[in-house]
Structures are given as C-alpha cells and as structure tokens.
A = this chain, B = another copy of it.
Amino acid sequence: MKDDGAFREFLKQKGLRLTPEREAILREVFDTRGEHFDPEELHISLRQKDANVSRASVYRTIPLLIEAGIIEEVERVDKHSHYELTWGREHHDHMLCLGCGKVIEFLSQEMEELQDRLCAEHGFSGQTHTLEIKGYCSKCARKVA
C-alpha cells in the first residue's frame, strides 16, 4: 500500500498513535478499492483475515479516516451509514439502481460549475455536495418495462 502515509501523517499531527488495529483498518479500507462499505462489513472482513480488531475500534477509527480525508460518508441506505474510499480518487456522484443495487459513478464538470453558480446566486459558500440519482440501470429498466 502506498498511500498509508497520509493517515500516518494525520495521526502524528494530532498527537495520536499508529496502532496495529488502525493499520489493519486502513489496509482493509484501501482493499475496498472504492466499493461502498459499512462498519459491520469492514469488521467482518477484518475478522476473516484474522485481524483482531473489535467493532468498537472500527467505529472509533472511521471518524479519524474521515477527518484525514481518506474516506467519506455516502448516501445512507436503510438505517445505517455507508462509506467509500476517496483518497487519491476524483470527486464523483452516484446513480443507484433500485432494481439490482448497482452503483454507477459519474463526474460532470458542467454539473460542478452549475452548482458553483447556484451557490453564488444564493450567497452560499458550498463546501461539499452529494448528488444521488435513483432509478433503474439499463438491464433492470428492461425488466420493469
């Protein structure tokens, strides 16, 4: 893994420690390679790899990873939070298929610019945004129709 230095750096800067547990969690997060995950899934993956990391540590580390700019919370599904690795990746938005759960990532420069313009019009200083379009992917749309 190449980018773990960013987290290391972040911890040092905050006077926090790099523990084996945090390393294992970070490694697991990078292993998702951009796939969305929730804390429970992360915890199960860690256990399967014989990493002795408690659920509590997973929950305690997630806010640190967010603050370090490594992951972000994405749209909530059901009643729990989902996250994705964003470190080293370009910003993007999501289309979520209601049929099969497939997630399409997309990026539109035009959309970004339009949002900047809309913020300016409302005297709003935009920091981040989340756009999720729900509907049906080409496969599922065929079935539903």
Q: A residues near B, CB below 8 A?
A: 75-76, 95, 97-98, 104, 106, 108, 110-111, 114-115, 118-119, 122-138, 141
**What's the least CB distance linking A131 to chain B, in Å?**
5
Known: A106-B118, A114-B111, A118-B108. A135 touches B125 (CB 8 A): yes
Interface of A, secondary structure class, is strand
5 tightest Cβ-Cβ pairs between the two chains A and B: A123-B138, A126-B135, A127-B135, A125-B141, A129-B133
A133 to B93, CA, bound (A): 12
A137 to B106, CA, bound (A): 27
Known: A110-B114, A114-B110, A114-B111. A126 touches B122 (CB 8 A): no
Known: A95-B119, A129-B131, A132-B129. A124 touches B138 (CB 8 A): yes
- Can you give 8 contacting A-B residue pairs, CB < 8 Å? A95-B119, A104-B122, A111-B118, A114-B114, A124-B135, A124-B137, A126-B133, A129-B131
